[in-house]
Amino acid sequence: MDIEKGTRYSKIIGNFGEGFLLNWLSRSGFEACLVDHTGLDVIAYHKTSKRRLGFTVKSRTRTSARDKSGVNVFSFRKGKDDRQKLLDACEAFGCQEPWIAVYVETLNSADLYLTSLENYDKKYKSSRSRAIHDWKMGEKYTTMYGEDPDVKHVQMTFGTSRWNWTSSSR
């Protein structure tokens, strides 16, 4: 069995990734809200630490053939500058720290990674000038993320029972 995507799947997985992030922030003591703004998807405020974070959220589903493919985080193609859009939005909303959240799901599991833009730039951004900056998902990088105290990680495993819609049973 593999993932068969519906026509609105990209929108649905994007909403799910944002909702999953909101859930984990909220259950970690943040006041968090979804925003509809260019470059910014979630704003989170931690009352105790007085930190206001601005997140860009990237959500993808990977089939078994592409489960180690990176996730595009920032595009600089055709005059775009997604990174600057995040920085501008964080400034407009008073977010002291821009963050990246990457939600990636496969057939049997999902991972949510969070890190500050500063940490991404320091440790994971390619040193070469590129049109796309990505979040790598190969084994080398997922091991590095697991060892990095500045990368937050939530993993979820999917279990299903009789979730087959092609059979004749009703």
pTM of the model: 0.90
Domains in the chain, ordered, with CATH? 9-157 (3.40.1350.10)
Nearest to 4 by CA among 46, 71, 64: 64
pLDDT of residue 66: 67
The span from the first CA to the last CA of the chain, in angstroms, equals: 19
The count of other CB atoms within 10 Å of the CB of residue 39 is 20
Position 136 pLDDT exceeds 60:
yes
With residue 31 as reference, give the H or E element that holds it: strand 30-37
Residue 5 vs residues 15, 124, 129: alpha-carbon distances, Å: 15, 30, 33
Residue whose C-alpha is closest to residue 40's, from 103, 85, 102: 85
Looking at residue 95, the DSSP 8-state letter turns out to be -
SS3 call for 36: strand
Q: What number of CA atoms fall less than 13 Å from residue 146's CA on the CB side?
A: 9
pLDDT at 127: 72
**Is the pLDDT assigned to residue 117 strictly greater than 90?**
yes
- Predicted confidence (pLDDT) at residue 150 exceeds the cutoff of 70: yes
Q: For the segment 19-35, what is each residue's pLDDT rounded down to a tens digit?
A: 999 999 999 999 999 99
Q: Quick check: 106 pLDDT over 60?
A: yes
Share of the chain above pLDDT 90, in %: 62
Beta bridge mates, 33:
43
